Amino acid sequence: MDFTYTPAEEAFRSSLRAWLVDALPQGWGESVFEPEDEDERAMFRLDWERKLHAGGWSGINWPTEYGGRGATLVERAIFAEEMARARAPEGINIIGHNLAGPTILRHGTQAQKKRFLPPIIASQEVWCQGFSEPNAGSDLASVRTRAQRRGDKFIVNGQKIWTSFAQYSHWCFALVRTDPDAPKHKGLSFLLIDMKSPGISIRPLRQISGECEFNETFFDDVEVPAENIVGDVNDGWRIAMTTLAYERGPEDGLARQVRFKQELDKLLGMLDTQAGHHRSIDNAAIRQKLARSITEVEVMRLNALRTFSKYLNGEDRGPDASIIKLYWSHAAQNMYENAMDALGPTAPIAGGDPLSAAGGRFQLSYLQSKAFTIYSGSSEIQRNIIGERMLGLPR
Amino acid sequence: MNFGFDEDQKSLGDTVAQMLGDFPALTAPDPADARDAAVWSGLAELGLFALLVPEEHGGAGLALVDVALAVEALGAGLAPFTVATTLIATDLIVRYGTDRQKSAWLPRIAAGQLRIAVAMLEQGRGYDPADVETSVSGNMIGGRKILVPDAVDADLFLTLALVDAEPALVMVERNARGVALRPHADIDPSSGFCELILEGASLTDCAIIGHKFSDAPVQRLIDLGAALHAGMMMGIAARMLDTSVDYARTRVQFGQPIGAFQSIKHRCADMAVAVEAGRSAAYYAVWAVSEDAPDHARASSMAKAYCGEIARRACNEAIQIHGGMGFTWELGLHRFLRRSKVIEHAFGDEAWHYERVIADTLAGQANASDHGRAAA
């Protein structure tokens, strides 16, 4: 066990740190923040991703032949730490970087890797995920969106739902039914679909936070070139499991931990500099809750590092991804509950009101956090996976 | 960066676990039967007590992190407390002892000839190390210490006491004049808890450890105790998970193993997540204390508070999943519940450690923003 870094890793850290000082706007995180409007914020985040790429800080541990930096998982962890430290903005092509990219890298053809990976790394092409359907949520293998082979094309018909960032996306990877007569897991394929294709329409869905990050996506006789299948026809379930392992895995967990740590630090800083005689930061019960959340956010990071080390020591990716996801989702929800508790009487005052704390970010995050235990596999599904595949309990 | 154990570290953990498994009395239902002198000699033959002793004093010169998995096994196997507290005392003597203290104690520790119990708490006082009445004057020590584990078997008591009005670590010999023990009635009789009564007890002239290091030895005792006891609680939690899963796989009700029911399966899954999370916290804390990393106090407090909650829940869940059997004396799950509760309250409880975490975090934030202003 060793938490020290090699000179090469330290050099990676200091060059990233220096780059961030120049790249972030003057006063970032103190007086300068992200735009409040949802679309403007999306474009701001896209610009930031492209800036990261221009600086050579995208696709950190992806192979250099596809435009990545070719760095190690350890450097990827350092990258996350430094992004947290600098309070750097999030990106918008999260699904491209964390899901589409690793899946194509693992299962794609040489031609697919060459075609799709460099524009993901450059955030020239933003991706969305076409998995869930109105009648295929936790029971993902029951998707009904059909893809029928016609000549050198698949013709896709159906509906996907909860498609985050579809409105900004150039591409969508989708789980579609290619054989309706086969058992449900054995008739699925994994297609890469150009969002500009005729026949695709999207309708925004409003979330409990009031935002419209996700959408319904409709496919009406959409033509997809046959070469855009990843893996074999009817082998899509296996490919999708890789996607899910990355969606729930330690890289994703660590990137999220960065956000949670930033928000928790912000909250603590704000509470600690408040004036008055009845400050919540002086309340013993609140202090206990905050200390527990500080601990859980640190454990999120340690969980990711432990899992990275397993991979580096040659272990396979397995159901441990479900442990990562189940842990961070509940710990983060709890952290936002604690944040609301700590805000005391003004907790209900949201962004837009001059009296709101930190521009209302905690109220917004509190509402957003309710999705954590539902998306990328609900907690109930994660518990089934852990119980059956890790602990060997009967189905 | 590598957050994993090497083969030697893993194999030591396995060996200690196996050896403790050879003593079924340790985890047998009746805690009164759980004290077996052969356990200590077995661990000594294994060389456990020599591991942290430097080579020049007859040991292996290993680091604390090398024994992390062995400590987890001590927890899972309900080993006597003095095993862990002797390892803790070894670290303190190696780090802060004078040459004379080292030559007096370390070779005997390495040979398994010295059992060292830790005496910290006093009636009506909290966990704060300055909050003690026991004090040293001249070559005598007076005061009463409560909840000293395995006191009846101990040769030495590493005692928290005031020296010149400051908390310090003082080694008291069991056989010294003025030392008496009164066994407690307590929830875990296998812990061997006693009140240590010091009435002008005589000290040798090298009894005080690391007095010239100010409060560092006392702080380190707390950090070491917190980190290693967090590790022991993870041993208990992991064992409760394994036991529950085994039972859920085989116990049949309504025509199927109860582990097929999501109400049971999901409890087991949540325990598995908690065990992994607690291990992350405990292993990191042991490493941080071992390496004296800048965040070692915070890391050990996080681990102690958090692993306490996890172990407590794991014991509760295990009893619930075993149903009526879980509540029987003869199944013996109560042994883990009792031990876990006792460890939870040793070396600082959840509330005390979380307060340390928040205070340390806020102080760190204030420092960081001072640095920020200075840089700007």
Q: What is the pLDDT of residues B174-221, one digit of tens each?
A: 999 999 999 999 999 999 999 999 999 999 999 999 988 889 999 999
The predicted pLDDT at position B46 comes to 96
- B-facing residues of A in 255-284 (CB < 8 A) are 265, 268-269, 272, 281, 284
Q: Are B49 and B93 in contact (CB under 8 A)?
A: no
State the CB neighbour count (10 A cutoff) for residue B177: 10
Please state, in angstroms and rounded to a whole number, the distance separating the CA atoms of residues A368 and A90. Answer: 15
Q: What is the rounded distance in angstroms from the CA atom of residue A159 to the CA atom of residue B189? A: 64
Say yes or no: A312 contacts chain B, CB-CB below 8 A.
yes
Tell me the domain boundaries of chain A: 7-92, 127-235, 248-390
- Start-to-end Cα distance in chain B: 32
Residue A194, min C-alpha distance to chain B (Å): 38
Read off the pLDDT of residues B230-273 as tens digits, 9 standing for 90 and up: 999 999 999 999 999 999 999 999 999 999 999 999 999 999 99
What chain A residue is nearest to B279 in terms of C-alpha separation? A303
Instruction: Give me the sign of the Cα torsion angle B286, B46, B37, B218.
Output: negative
Q: What three-state secondary structure class fits A40? A: helix
Q: What is the mean pLDDT of chain A?
A: 95
- Residue B181's φ and ψ, nearest 5 degrees, are -125, 140
**How far off is chain B from A385, nearest CA to CA, in Å?**
8
Separation between Cα atoms, residue A337 and residue A98, nearest integer Å: 27
Q: Is domain A127-235 classified as CATH 3.40.50.460?
A: no
CB contact under 8 A, B306 and A295: yes
Look up the ipTM and state it.
Answer: 0.96
Which pLDDT belongs to residue A85? 84
CA pair distance A50, A54, nearest whole angstrom:
6
**Closest to B86 in 3D by CA, of B42, B57, B134, B48:** B48
**Cβ contacts from A onto B, under 8 A:** 153
The answer to whether A383 contacts B283, with C-beta atoms less than 8 Å apart, is no
* Closest residue by Cα to residue B298 from A1, A259, A298, A300: A298
Encoded tokens for B126? 């909290």
What is d(CA A109, CA B190) in angstroms, rounded to the nearest whole number?
63
Residue A313 contacts B where some CB pair is shorter than 8 Å: yes
Strand partners, A191: A174, A229
Instruction: Report CA dihedral (B141, B147, B151, B152) to the nearest 10 degrees.
Output: 120
Only one residue has tokens 């009445």, namely B133
Nearest by CB: A392 against B68, B249, B276: B249
Read off φ and ψ for residue A215, nearest 5 degrees.
-145, 165
Q: Which helix (H) or strand (E) holds B10?
A: helix B7-21
Q: What CA–CA distances, in Å, run from B73 to A294, B21, B80, B212, B246? A: 28, 10, 12, 35, 19
User: Is B39 in contact with B80 (CB distance < 8 Å)?
Assistant: yes
List CB contacts (< 8 A) between B376 and chain A: none
Architecture of domain A248-390: Up-down Bundle (1.20)
Cα A328 to Cα A299: distance, rounded to the nearest angstrom: 9
For the purposes of burial, counting CB atoms within 10 Å of the CB of A135, is it exposed (0-12), middle (13-18) or buried (19 or more)?
Answer: exposed
Q: Using alpha carbons only, how large is chain A's radius of gyration in Å?
A: 22
pLDDT of residue B369: 61
Contacts of B288 in chain A (CB under 8 A): 3
Of A2, A387, A391, the CB nearest to B2: A2
Asked whether B165 and B134 are in contact (CB, 8 A), the reply is no
Beta strand pairing call for A127-130 and A171-177? parallel
Residue of A156, A162, A121, A132 lying closest to A371 (CA atoms):
A162
Residues 62-91 of A with CB under 8 A from B: 74, 77
Does the annotation mark A247 as catalytic?
Answer: yes
Task: Please list the pLDDT of chain B residue by residue as tens digits (376 residues).
Answer: 899 999 999 999 999 999 999 999 999 999 988 888 899 999 999 999 999 999 999 999 999 999 999 999 999 999 999 999 999 999 999 999 999 999 999 999 999 999 999 999 999 999 999 999 999 999 999 999 999 999 999 999 999 999 999 999 999 999 999 999 999 999 999 999 999 999 999 999 999 999 888 899 999 999 999 999 999 999 999 999 999 999 999 999 999 999 999 999 999 999 999 999 999 999 999 999 999 999 999 999 999 999 999 999 999 999 999 999 999 999 999 999 999 999 999 999 999 999 999 999 999 887 766 554 444 3
Q: What does each C-alpha distance from B217 to A43, A158, B160 come to in angstroms?
A: 55, 68, 10
Question: Is A388 at the interface with chain B, CB within 8 A?
Answer: yes
CA dist list (Å): B362 to A269, A271, A298, A362, B88: 8, 10, 15, 19, 29
Positions in chain A short of pLDDT 50: none
Q: Do the Cβ atoms of A281 and B291 come within 8 Å?
A: no
List of long-range contacts for A364-368, beta carbons under 8 Å, 24+ apart: A364/A209, A365/A263, A365/A336, A365/A339, A366/A336, A366/A337, A366/A339, A366/A340, A367/A208, A367/A209, A367/A210, A368/A207, A368/A209, A368/A211
Give the C-alpha separation, B281 to B301, whole Å. 10
pTM of the model: 0.96
Q: A393–B305: do the CB atoms touch at under 8 Å?
A: no
- Asked whether the beta carbons of B278 and B310 are under 8 A apart, the reply is yes
Closest CA to A250 of A299, A284, A213: A299
Q: What does the alpha-carbon distance between residue A358 and residue B37 come to, in Å, rounded to a whole number?
A: 61
* Distance (Å) from the alpha carbon of A89 to chain B's nearest alpha carbon: 19
Query: Dihedral through CA B81, CA B87, CA B91, CA B97, nearest 10?
Result: 80
Chain B residue nearest residue A77, CA to CA: B1
| Given the residues A75, A82, A213, A247, the one annotated as active site | A247
Cβ contact B354–A308 (<8 Å): no
Nearest CA to A291 out of B358, B202, B121 is that of B358
| Strand B135-137, strand B166-173: pairing | unpaired
Q: What are the chain B neighbours of A77 within 8 Å (beta carbons)?
A: 1
Residue corresponding to tokens 């450690």 = B353
Question: Helices H, strands E: what count in chain A?
Answer: 12, 8
- Judged by CB atoms closer than 8 Å, whether chains meet at A394 and B357 is answered as no
CA–CA distance, B126 with A359 (Å, rounded to integer): 41
Domain boundaries A7-92, corresponding CATH code: 1.10.540.10
**Which A residues in the span 152-181 are in contact with B, Cβ-Cβ below 8 Å?**
none
A295 close to B302: Cβ distance less than 8 angstroms: yes
Chain B residues whose beta carbon lies within 8 Å of the beta carbon of residue A384: 262, 265-266, 269
From chain B, pick out residues whose CB is under 8 angstroms from the CB of A320.
Answer: 276
